[in-house]
Structure 1
Amino acid sequence: MKRAWIIPAVMCLLLLAAWPFRWEKGPTQTVNNGALKIVHLRDHWTGQAWVALYGYDAVNNRLYSGEMVPVPSQADIAKRKEQILASPEEVKKVAELRKRLTLPAISGGGEEAEWEIQKEEERIESTARSELKCWAWRKRNIATEIWAGLVALSALMAVILVVHTSRSPRNQEVSTLPPQ
């Protein structure tokens, strides 16, 4: 097996060649009279949608230089929102607010409870969105770490096999001349 190092070397090169094909570039938007450029991207490895931000956002008073932000789908947000709403704490909180809704209008509890229910739903949606963004970052980082680990492992194996083959006794030149 003189050339066993070729397999991990080819594997390393294939993994390195896969990197540029990870991201699919989608449409580009400009907002705030061209001050902010939004580039839509799709990660082929994780199947997630992302946006890259460039420029100045006057609404948030922030300057962006290629910051990546995950964009969870509305279906995923709704699904996570339902999971949060099904938790015992949220069920109890919503039941209390709905109970306050049935109070007589004289006490003013109904309007306040309606407003609180609306705020609670907004908070739950915001929580669902932020959790999905955190999970998207985690998933992206795990995919990148696995890729980097495979590249490093295949490169290391190729180097070890090259060194091992070059030091093996079969590869040492043996002189057939008698010693003098």
Structure 2
Amino acid sequence: LMQHSYDSQLEILYTPNSTEANNIMSRVKTKLDPQKQHIGYFKAMENATSMETWLYNRSITNEKTYWEQGYGIVFHNISENTLNYSIKNTKFDIWHTNLLFPEFPVLGPVESGTDYVSHGFLALQIAIDEAYMEYINVEPVDWSLQEFPYPQYRRVDMFTTIYK
């Protein structure tokens, strides 16, 4: 999926700095960036607070474009049968992974969810999941992605409405 990303480089931090997390994240780095072109800053942090502080400072001082992304992964639980993690981002206001549809829907399908692909979010999530499967010696699955349909809506021709 990284070949579909508009981001020139991703900056990735993770915590905790443990053997399990380091093993998984070294695999993630290889999966995301086999040619060593897409990942800039890549580092294990001692705790979530220091990682979040770095991400926050990066988000307010970064003078790069909208397409530059920094991600932080917090591993809450890594065991033989459980992987629980959170992904944090320097662009805090663009991810709404807890919602099936937009909180304030517009009339009809105007914006697709392509930000998840174009900013490397899905690539990172899939790389983490596959790296974990390899870590516990489980065969990775074939992924397919599908955008959810929009809820029922009434089409309004804005051009006709404005110029009536």
TM-score range, shorter chain: under 0.3
- Of Structure 1 and Structure 2, which has the larger fraction of its residues in helix? 1
TM-score (norm 2): 0.23
